[in-house]
Amino acid sequence: MLIEGRNSTATPPESLADLSHLPFIATQTGCVYRRLFDTAFAEAGIAPPDIVTQADSIQTIIRLVASGAGYGLVPRLAITPAAERGDVGELPWPGDTPAVSLIMLWRRRRVQRPALSSLIVMASEDLRPVRPAGARLRRAG
């Protein structure tokens, strides 16, 4: 999701061309979110925005965006606390919405630890399953 600092006075970008003229905080080259960012502009044939800084932490990007340093592309699940505090705001991505697959694997047990149970519940509420929930692998290799 595209985010901006709450104190931003800039007009929200309506197209990738608009976004290409704004300061951007990105993950480092090789990160999946950076690949989504670079691919969106390359496929549209538009020069990407100036990257004012690169960060290896999504939370660092959120804090930099909240401080007004630029815009950022981060996973929606990561911004909830900052958005609830009013530090950042969600903007629609101006173009085809970037998407990435998230694969979760865990050892199936009769009793799951509370943290794993909570993660599974949260993920099942916010993410779309790719394969049926009852699907089982015969063996992992």
47: in domain? yes
From first to last of the 141 residues of the chain, give the pLDDT tens digit. 788 887 666 677 888 888 888 899 999 998 888 988 898 889 889 999 989 999 989 999 999 999 999 999 888 878 888 988 989 988 877 777 767 676 777 777 677 788 888 887 877 776 766 665 566 655 554
Q: Is residue 137 part of a domain?
A: no
Pairing mode, if any, of strands 24-27 and 71-73? parallel
Taken in order 33, 39, 40, 46, the sign of the CA dihedral is positive
* Any domain includes 52: yes
Would 50 be classed as within a structural domain? yes
Task: Say if residues 88 and 79 touch (Cβ distance below 8 Å).
Answer: yes
Give domain status of residue 125, yes or no. no
CATH code where residue 10 lies = 3.40.190.10
Contacts of 8 (CB under 8 A, 6+ apart): 68, 89
State both tokens at 134. Answer: 């009852």
Indicate whether 97 belongs to any domain. Answer: no
Long-range contacts from 55-59, C-beta under 8 angstroms, 24+ separation: 55/25, 55/26, 55/27, 55/28, 56/27, 56/28, 56/31, 58/27, 58/33
133: Cβ–Cβ under 8 A, 6 or more apart, which residues? 124
Number of folded domains that form the chain: 1
Q: Which domain holds residue 86?
A: 2-91
Give domain status of residue 96, yes or no: no
